[in-house]
Structure 1
Amino acid sequence: MGLYIHIPFCIGKCNYCDFTSAPPAAPGEIENYLLALAKELEIYGRLLARPDAACSVDTVYIGGGTPTLLAGEQLVRVLIKCRDLFAWSADTEVTVEANPGTVDLLKLEQLKMAGVNRISFGVQSFDDSLLRAMGRVHSAALAVESIALARKAGFFNLNLDLIFGLPGQTMGMWEQTLDEALKLEVEHLSLYGLKIEPGTPWGEEDERGLLPLPPEETVLKMRAVANEKLKARGYRQYEISNYARPGFEARHNLRYWHNKEYLGVGLGASSHLLNRRFVNISSLSSYSRLLESGQLPIAEEELLTWKQRMGETAFLGLRLLAGLDSEAFYLRYGIRPQEAFKAEIEHLLQLGLLEEQDNSIRLTAQGLPVANHVFTYFV
């Protein structure tokens, strides 16, 4: 299975962020959280162990928040606990999210020694004015410096997160960010169109009509320009928002898109395990209290029906540029997607939003910009 570990702490909340994250409220809060996290890992270590061996994981992802807000020693402790409880293969992909300015050479070397082999940097932009508007605490120069430190520490699998469609962002600004990112020659790039979330500072501004968002046609052009630039530099788009040099696709995220099993631990973390989806509570005090008493901190749990499982596999698979593999779907469910979703797929084929090629069903060029609409047919 895959293992996701959530670190809910950050320096400051960004204006677009609705993740389960916040700055530490009091001294010792991070350390107390890590003690509770260790208890949750221990419970699952016991529950999932086979009589003859520990449960094995082939991808580990530490996300947040800003995991690298923690001291190197604290992150190493989390990784050691995971190694003690779960069997890792020699090629387990171990990713840690990092924000520029929260890493130094020592911390990166500690992570490398502890088995981390992939760093995902939340850069978002190489335009300082946009970074300030987002509420980011780093500059473009600091991002470049942090990436150079990661290379010096021996990391050869780096991802950069970038956002387009930002308030006040012009096409020129976006192209400049892409050009700066390409200069760094990282192995992976994740490009996300801004999503305005209710309850965030930008969500509230947008409700009042005060957020100067680029026109939709500009946002679509930003995506198209990115596709052209990245393809010319040897990156392959393998998922709606993700591009990689050959062999550097994000294995942990591919697990999500192939609808495979993963365990999520930590505040607000989600899991997909044993045909169930469940999510942890988002109250830090309740999380710690429940684990102190030996209880799992699950807030919601759902046993998925056969139809739900097929639907999730279908729409998650359609996020991949290769599309939904019809043969793999048949081997998993005993029915092909063209039969399980006959009316839906035929309708979307007629609309020109899906196409069939070889053994797959995939989004067309017309379907990609309205992918979320297409996905609703399978939910």
Structure 2
Amino acid sequence: MPFKLASMAKSPTPVTLQGHDDHLGVYIHVPFCASRCGYCDFNTYTAKELAGGFSIAGYLAALSQELENAAEILAASTTPHGADTVFFGGGTPSLLGADTLAQVLAEVSRTIGLAPNCEITTEANPESTSPDFFATLHDSGFTRVSLGMQSTSSRVLSLLGRKHSPGRALQAAEEAIAAGFTHVNLDMIYGTPTETEAEVAATLQAIIETGVDHVSAYSLIVEAGTAFARRVSRGELIQTDDDVLAQRYELIAATLQAHGFDWYEVSNWAKPGGQCRHNLIYWRNRNWWGAGPGAHGHIDGVRRVNVKHPARYHSLSTKDQLPLAEVEHLTAAEHHTETVMVGLRLVEGIDATIIDPRAYPTINDFVQRGLLHQWDDPTTGQRRIAVTDRGRLLADGIIAEILISEESA
């Protein structure tokens, strides 16, 4: 059926910024790592890089002050009811230890507040966890753990610069489940140079055997300025061919689906009820406060980005200032672009009524090619569009063409 909406014959429905019923996420950035992986370009710092110029105690004091200031702003926003999700990312949040993570969570509760049934997640590196770590987190109210595994191949882990042994991430996942966590994620990376299909298959099988309910699988991206990029530029490593990456993705998707995991975002699979609610706030382009050095946030169409360096972050926060590097007020058009970009990566897709009619021919073409599909939501009656299973591999290109066609004469 061709893409057509009679109600949009003349112009698209105006984009509305976040409404009063939107969920609120809180992201806490922990900028510390024991060592830097060769592929990583995140805002993280080792003890050597900080050279004694900043402490965890200083970070915690600054973070507490930022949360105080955030609470005042959020009280006047469209989401004053407390956080529906809290996510500790990094860096390596588990380096803080479970007691300190619980202390920060208590600060979020005291300042911003926690909504009933709040999802509370921390990322963790396997080597900085233990059964006691997970037990303390669970007792403190954390509901979800996301572990950086990457691969079960020692050779691949060595290439990536990961320090943990191949089996430690699996053991950590099992320890988290034993501590009472029903929601545990394992991250894997595919497409590392020289990686074999057998190594990817072995990693998948090991993940499935742990009993986790969520898997994130990302192709290796060689980011400029990283040690990995320097090795590629010197010819020491050759990036994996796109066709091979596509084959790896298809293997991952088919294997996970066969074992009860459904995709809900292009790079994320979950068993029923296991979706990461915090990340869905990002992908649905809703509201979240980003706290900590370099953290990004979005509240009611205003994007805030914090200063990156922990020492500068501390200096501004402890002077009772928001530690901001950038503030951007999004236009309706910019908000629309972002909604399409993130929403079309989801299995639920987007509300078709926000699409400009100039994009209809492009969408029709993708539908006929089996890369997009459309349907009427039986609950809302709303027409929606989303990528198909075939379209997932080409999602970025599909999104780009739709956005370009919306602007064409």
On whether the aligned pair clears a TM of 0.5, the verdict is yes
Which bracket does the TM-score occupy, shorter chain normalised?
over 0.9
Compared with structure 1, are the counterparts of its residues 91 and 220 closer, same or farther at alpha carbon in structure 2 (3 Å cutoff)? same
1:343 equivalent to 2:358? Answer: yes
> Retained in 1: the 8 A contact 2:149–2:186?
yes
For residue 33 of structure 2, what is the aligned residue in structure 1? 10
Which residue of 330, 354, 357 maps to 2:372? Answer: 354
Compared with structure 1, are the counterparts of its residues 50 and 297 closer, same or farther at alpha carbon in structure 2 (3 Å cutoff)? closer
> Retained in 2: the 8 A contact 1:3–1:57?
yes
Mean Cα deviation higher: 358-367 or 31-40: 358-367
Note the C-alpha offset of 1:344: 2.9
For residue 87 of structure 1, what is the aligned residue in structure 2? 113
Q: How many residues align?
A: 367
Note the C-alpha offset of 1:86: 2.1
Deviations 1:37-96 (A, max 9, x none): 111111112232369x96411010000001001122211110110111122223110000
Separation in 2, partners of 1:208, 1:357: 49
Mean Cα deviation higher: 78-87 or 365-374: 365-374
Q: TM-score, normalised by structure 2?
A: 0.86
Alignment of 1:58-207 (within 5 A): 58-207=84-233
For residue 41 of structure 1, what is the aligned residue in structure 2? 67
One-letter amino acid of the structure 2 residue matched with residue 15 of structure 1: G
- For 2:127, what is the secondary structure of its paired residue? coil
Note the C-alpha offset of 1:348: 4.0
Note the C-alpha offset of 1:365: 4.2
Separation in 1, partners of 2:283, 2:101: 27
For residue 263 of structure 1, what is the aligned residue in structure 2? 289
Compared with structure 1, are the counterparts of its residues 274 and 337 closer, same or farther at alpha carbon in structure 2 (3 Å cutoff)? closer
Alignment of 1:239-278 (within 5 A): 239-278=265-304
- For 1:9, what is the secondary structure of its paired residue? coil
Alignment of 1:296-307 (within 5 A): 296-307=322-333
Percentage of identical aligned residues:
35
Q: TM-score, normalised by structure 1?
A: 0.92
1:368 equivalent to 2:386? Answer: no
- For 1:367, what is the secondary structure of its paired residue? helix
1:309 equivalent to 2:324? Answer: no
One-letter amino acid of the structure 2 residue matched with residue 10 of structure 1: C
Deviations 1:4-32 (A, max 9, x none): 00001111111111100121335561121
> Retained in 2: the 8 A contact 1:45–1:55?
no
Separation in 2, partners of 1:91, 1:225: 35
- For 1:95, what is the secondary structure of its paired residue? strand
Compared with structure 1, are the counterparts of its residues 369 and 357 closer, same or farther at alpha carbon in structure 2 (3 Å cutoff)? same
Root-mean-square deviation over aligned CA pairs:
1.8
Larger RCO: Structure 1 or Structure 2 (Cα < 8 Å, ≥ 6 residues apart)? Answer: 2
One-letter amino acid of the structure 2 residue matched with residue 9 of structure 1: F
Unaligned regions of 5+ residues in structure 2, if any? Answer: 1-23, 377-382, 405-409
